[in-house]
Amino acid sequence: MSTASASTPVPRPLSRRDYRTLSLSALGGALEFYDFIIFVFFAAVVGQLFFPPDMPEWLRQFQTFGIFAAGYLARPLGGMVLAHFGDLLGRKRMFTLSIVLMTVPTLIMGLLPTYAQIGIWAPLLLLAMRIVQGAAIGGEVPGAWVFVSEHVPARSVGFACGTLTCGLSVGILLGSVMANVINTVFTAEEVLAWAWRVPFLLGGVFGLVAVYLRRWLHETPVFVEMQAHKRLAEELPLKTVVREHRSGVIVSILLTWLLSAGIVVVILMTPTFLQKLYGFDAVTSLRANSLAIICLALGCIAAGWLCDRIGAGRVLTGGCVLLAVTSWVFYTSLATHPEALLPLYALVGLAVGVTGAVPFVMVNAFPPVVRFSGLSFSYNLSYAIFGGMTPMAVSLMVKWSPLGPAYYLLGLCAIGALVGLVLIRRGR
């Protein structure tokens, strides 16, 4: 055996400790994302209870979704603050703090008095809790990707990021299932009277469980090494990111736009389109949506695994082409072939799983010393802009054509495929 080959480190497989870290991180991410998303499933009820009864319905809904959007707008600030300290004080501390900041407001939201009880203070307190939730999720998602990627072997980073993204998708599924259970078990009067509180209170309990589970996680080896060798950022990490890693920021912003479009349009908005544009009943739409989310979760793992095998560039390019084709077939076929709803929606959900490749690209776009700040800044800035813009843009496009969602997705798939081709040229 030659000296060169003898000195070459042998890539290690995932250990039991790695699998435990992935499992606990994905579970915690699922529970925290449930806390963030459950609001949207009960927006109509919240609107009735937290605003004046004589308020016009359109204004009540507008203000309710405005409070929901406030969570998105708070993401960049919360994400940057948590990321700043994550790069200076440690990944695990911020990883734990983010879930505490999500859990407490969710629990409080389930206990809040309504407008009938305390007047204008009810929506103001609801808004405050939603802002804290937004700040928490702004640090949770980027922090989770950084945390798992720095724990596993280099050849398994894609699989780790895909698995964690799968966990976030499961959080959406939990919210959908919970909404279905509450509206099935209880009457509309019971939901309005008290049952709407149950999902929020359970979310608080779930969060406390996740906080406990994260006690078993350890600081990432990458941060421990940087700390030991005193290689932590010597200036404001975000300043370094903006000055030295602009290309990484641009790529991350574009790919986050792709990720947000896939989730918002295909998973969150399409059930409404199925009912309003294609005449499906609510139960059928929800069942199909749940199947799509399951396929999305599996697709995220597959995309991450493929990134480790063939490179993120090829996964993004091929995955975006697949998403473009399947989404076009889906939205153009439902009017004439409604019986194909389940298989077509499942296929589109699986194709949205290409977003499982996005965090792999993002964690590799920044060096470890500013990785948390770079990823968090790019992700949250993009989500605040495009995550909030997408529902409005697609809604306007639907007024112009029922194929508006398909056109929007086609545009984002083109952007994602172009980014993939650039990565291929760079050997990634």
User: Where is pLDDT greater, at 269 or 357?
Assistant: 357
Q: Considering the chain, what is the average pLDDT of its residues?
A: 84
Quick check: 2 pLDDT over 60? no
Q: Which of 20-34, 160-174, 296-310 has the lowest mean pLDDT?
A: 20-34
Considering the entire predicted model, what is its pTM?
A: 0.82
Quick check: 268 pLDDT over 50? yes
pLDDT grade for 5, boundaries at 50, 70 and 90: very low
Q: What is the mean pLDDT of residues 173-202?
A: 88
Q: Which residue spans of the chain are classified as CATH 1.20.1250.20?
A: 19-220, 235-428
User: Where is pLDDT greater, at 60 or 257?
Assistant: 257
Contact criterion met (CB below 8 Å) for 216 and 126: no
pLDDT at residue 332, rounded to an integer: 92
Provide the percentage of residues in the chain whose pLDDT is more than 70: 92
pLDDT at residue 346, rounded to an integer: 96
Q: What is the mean pLDDT of residues 207-224?
A: 75
pLDDT at residue 4, rounded to an integer: 41
pLDDT at residue 9, rounded to an integer: 43
Architecture of domain 19-220: Up-down Bundle (1.20)
pLDDT at residue 232, rounded to an integer: 62
pLDDT grade for 256, boundaries at 50, 70 and 90: very high
Quick check: 277 pLDDT over 70? yes
Q: What is the mean pLDDT of residues 116-122?
A: 91
Cα distances from 23 to residues 144, 304, 388, in angstroms, run 12, 15, 30
Maximum mean pLDDT: which of 76-85, 368-377, 403-412: 403-412
Contact criterion met (CB below 8 Å) for 264 and 346: no
Quick check: 111 pLDDT over 90? yes
Q: What is the mean pLDDT of residues 347-353?
A: 95
pLDDT at residue 82, rounded to an integer: 77
pLDDT grade for 11, boundaries at 50, 70 and 90: low
Q: Give the span between the Cα atoms of 158 and 183, in whole angstroms.
A: 38
Quick check: 426 pLDDT over 60? yes
pLDDT grade for 61, boundaries at 50, 70 and 90: low
pLDDT at residue 421, rounded to an integer: 95
- 3-state secondary structure labels for all residues of the chain: CCHHHHHCCCCCCCCHHHHHHHHHHHHHHHHHHHHHHHHHHCHHHHHHHHCCCCCCHHHHHHHHHHHHHHHHHCHHHHHHHHHHHHHHHCHHHHHHHHHHHHHHHHHHHCCCCCHHHHCCHHHHHHHHHHHHHHHHHHHHHHHHHHHHHCCCCHHHHHHHHHHHHHHHHHHHHHHHHHHHHHHHHCCHHHHHHHHCHHHHHHHHHHHHHHHHHHHHCCCCHHHHHHHHCCCCCCCCHHHHHHHHCHHHHHHHHHHHHHHHHHHHHHHHHHHHHHHHCCCCCHHHHHHHHHHHHHHHHHHHHHHHHHHHHHCHHHHHHHHHHHHHHHHHHHHHHCCCCHHHHHHHHHHHHHHHHHHHHHHHHHHCCCCHHHHHHHHHHHHHHHHHHHHHHHHHHHHHHHHHCCCHHHHHHHHHHHHHHHHHHHHHHCCC
Tokens of 179: 């909404």
Name the one residue in this structure whose structure tokens are 């952007």.
415
What is the end-to-end Cα distance of the chain in Å, rounded?
A: 30
pLDDT at residue 6, rounded to an integer: 39
Quick check: 132 pLDDT over 50? yes
191-195's contacts with Cβ under 8 Å and 24+ in sequence apart are 191/45, 192/45, 192/48, 192/49
Provide the greatest CA pair distance for the chain: 83
Question: Hey, how many other C-beta atoms are within 10 angstroms of the C-beta on 214?
Answer: 19
Superfamily of domain 235-428: MFS general substrate transporter like domains (1.20.1250.20)
Quick check: 314 pLDDT over 80? yes
Q: Which of 40-44, 68-72, 407-411 has the lowest mean pLDDT?
A: 68-72
Q: What is the mean pLDDT of residues 403-427?
A: 92
Cα distances from 5 to residues 1, 2, 10, 289, in angstroms, run 7, 5, 10, 51
Quick check: 7 pLDDT over 50? no
Name the one residue in this structure whose structure tokens are 């435990």.
20
pLDDT grade for 113, boundaries at 50, 70 and 90: very high
Q: What is the mean pLDDT of residues 262-289?
A: 84
Q: Give the span between the Cα atoms of 200 and 34, in whole angstroms.
A: 9
